[in-house]
Every structure is written in structure tokens, then in C-alpha cells.
A and B are shown apart, each in its own frame.
Chain A
Amino acid sequence: MALMPKRIKFRKSQRGRIRGVAGRGNTVAFGEFGLQSLDAGWLTARQIEAGRVAATHFLHREGRVYIRVFPHKPVSSKPLETRMGKGKGEPEYYVACIKPGTMLYEIGGVEEDVAKRALSRVSHKMPFKCRFVVRRHGV
């Protein structure tokens, strides 16, 4: 099931711009290995779900998959064959705004080579370049 907010303050939002790099949410915090984005972009709820399914399917329910991003931003669109005007379209789906460096997924409880192969499959579902990272210990 695709992720979406339970309660929102405004049904529709403007498109906005993704500026800068990830200053937070850019370290492996829960698992031992992570998938880090190298580009900026929108990650739709469907893509997040596709990544989760790819990882859990590969891991055969071993280990643990953490999703580090959430689609907060509603994206609206106009129905097909509609004339322009008559106001903004209805929200169609939700996206997460991703900055370079954002940790997208994390995996714990499995060996490094298994995590690497699982996250490689996930990276194929992502709309931007990603890389595999290992948790940094100590300072």
C-alpha cells in the first residue's frame, strides 16, 4: 500500500524547488547499511513502495528494512481532455522531496553482501542515482 499522510493542513501545494543538499537525514541511523540518493528529485509514494517490495522480496523476510523518507507533498493534475482553466486539478499522488545525500532506505540484520544486492535492486526502482553506504561507527 502506497504511503500517504493521514492528516494535512492544505490539500494542494505549489510545485516548489529543491535547492541545496541534505543537511539532515543523511546518515545511516537505524540499520547497518543504507541507500543514499546522489541527486535531487521527487520520489513518489509508488516508487517508495516499489523499493520496499523489491527489498523485502529479496530478503525473504529476513533482516529489517527501514524507509527513511515519507511522501508529504501532494501533486495535483488535471483530468484528460479537459480545457485549461477552471482551477487547479485534484491531488493525484504524494511525493517526497529528495535532496542529494538523503538516506532513502536502510537495512539491518543481514550480511553486507546480502544488503548490497537487496539495495542494488531497490536502486533500480529509484528515479535518480543512488549509492550503497555502510554505517559509520564512533566519531
Chain B
Amino acid sequence: MELAQLTAESRKAAGSRAAARLRKEGKLPGIVYGHKEEPQAVALSLHALELALQHGAHLLELNLDGVTQQVLIKEVQYDHLGTTPVHVDLARVSLDERVNVKVSVELRGTAKGIKEGGILDLTLADIEVQCAVASIPETLRVDVSELGIGQSLHVRDLKLPDGVEAMDAPELVVCTVRMPITAEAVEAAEEGEGTAAPEVIGRKEKEEAAEE
């Protein structure tokens, strides 16, 4: 297994202003923790991390001040538009360790129900799985070709690779094929909504008290 290699340097200056200064230089503040060692604040190249994320990397080989270690990308914080990473959490791991990670679901095939006029709804786009660090799947491929209208695929129905165990509740619905919403149903729902002024909470009681 080939890991993405990143170089990081430890940083001493903490706080938002120091972090902002780092980001201006094209670097990304982050933290490395785990394995009962002291957490270490680091700065790494933003471009290199973005490239690794684009390739769906979960695991990195981090060269921190000359020492190489395997780290798992635990969390990436983005800016308000969700485009630029602003901070990254990296956890020290060994390759034989089992970890919990979120893996995206990839639907394969055309469901039977779609051919009959149904719509495929993906309700659970990412599934939390437990597996060895060395064998984290890129995506979970799910065959939906047998799904008819009104049928759902649950977490318990997923065929996971060897050594990968789903951590989400087995009864969670991953995807379902449903009939399109009819115009009558939309009208019925709209009729239910009133146009009257909203009820003011606690107003009646006050009015009653004033009358007394």
C-alpha cells in the first residue's frame, strides 16, 4: 500500500492570529495526537493535503521534523464556504491497528424500481466502519439493481469487504426507491398549511390576567 507523503514542521505559536499568518503563507495549521504521546501542533502544506484529500486518502505518511510516522486524517475543518481547509486533525496510528472511519457509499447499477418510474433516494451517504488501518476501503460499492419500488437497503444488507465491520445501527436505511410525489399530494400538503397569523405563545394568559 502506497501512502501519500507529507512534510510537516512543528509550530510553537498558538492562537488564531498565528494560525491566520500561517494560512497566508500557504500552510495549514494542524495537530497530531494519539498513542498516549503529547499532542503536537504542526504546520503542513495546504496544497499537498488538498491533493491527498482529492485522491480520497485517509492515511498519510507524515515526516515531522525528520521523523516519519503514519497518521490518520481524523477531521478536516473547512471555511464557511466549505472550499478551503482551515485546520486538520491527525491521529498517530500503526498499520495493524483497527480504527473507526467514515466511508462514502457508491451506488452501482440501475434499480428495478427506477425502470418502473420510481426515484432512488440516498439517505445515508457516509457509513462509519471499523477496519484495519491498512485496509480502509476507498468507497463502499452497493449494488441496488434488485431494489423495487418501496424497497429499501439497510446497513445490515451491505456486503462489506473482509475485515470491515459497520458501526452504524443495522436498521439504518442506506437508500430507498420511492414513487415520485404526485401533484395531488403536493396540493394536499399545501392545503394543510394555513395563512392565518401565527399564534403568540403565552398571549392568552396575559390577556386574561389583564381582564381580571
- A residues adjacent to B (C-beta < 8 A): 1, 4-11, 21-23, 26-27, 32, 36, 38, 56, 61-64, 91, 99-101, 108-109, 133, 135-139
B193, A62: Cβ atoms under 8 Å? no
Per DSSP, chain B at the interface is mixed
Interface residue? B96 (CB, 8 A): no
Interface size of B by CB at 8 A reads 35
Instruction: State the CA gap A79–B22 with chains docked (Å).
Output: 54
Q: Which residue of B lies closest to A7 (CB)?
A: B199
Instruction: State the CA gap A133–B121 with chains docked (Å).
Output: 18
Q: Which residue of B lies closest to A21 (CB)?
A: B80
Instruction: State the CA gap A122–B123 with chains docked (Å).
Output: 23
Instruction: State the CA gap A9–B82 with chains docked (Å).
Output: 34
Q: Which residue of A lies closest to B177 (CB)?
A: A109
Q: Which residues of A contact B74 (CB under 8 A)?
A: 139
26 contacts between A and B (CB under 8 A): A6-B198, A7-B198, A7-B201, A8-B198, A8-B201, A9-B200, A10-B200, A26-B81, A26-B82, A27-B82, A61-B183, A64-B119, A64-B121, A91-B197, A101-B82, A108-B121, A109-B120, A135-B125, A137-B104, A137-B125, A137-B126, A138-B56, A138-B58, A138-B102, A139-B101, A139-B102
Instruction: State the CA gap A3–B197 with chains docked (Å).
Output: 11
B76, A63: Cβ atoms under 8 Å? no
Per DSSP, chain A at the interface is loop
Q: Which residues of B contact A26 (CB under 8 A)?
A: 80-82
Instruction: State the CA gap A133–B80 with chains docked (Å).
Output: 13
Q: Which residues of B contact A108 (CB under 8 A)?
A: 121-122
Additional A-B contact list (6), CB under 8 Å, known A22-B80, A139-B58: A32-B122, A61-B182, A91-B197, A100-B80, A135-B125, A137-B104
Instruction: State the CA gap A64–B178 with chains docked (Å).
Output: 11
Q: Which residues of B contact A8 (CB under 8 A)?
A: 198-201
Which 7 residue pairs spanning A and B have beta carbons closest together? A137-B104, A101-B80, A21-B80, A1-B193, A8-B198, A61-B180, A5-B198
Q: Which residues of B contact A62 (CB under 8 A)?
A: 119, 180
Instruction: State the CA gap A100–B82 with chains docked (Å).
Output: 11
The contact string, 1 if C-beta is below 8 Å from chain A, for chain B 111-142, is: 00000000111100110000000000001000
Instruction: State the CA gap A6–B198 with chains docked (Å).
Output: 5
Q: Which residues of A contact B182 (CB under 8 A)?
A: 61
Q: Which residues of A contact B195 (CB under 8 A)?
A: 1
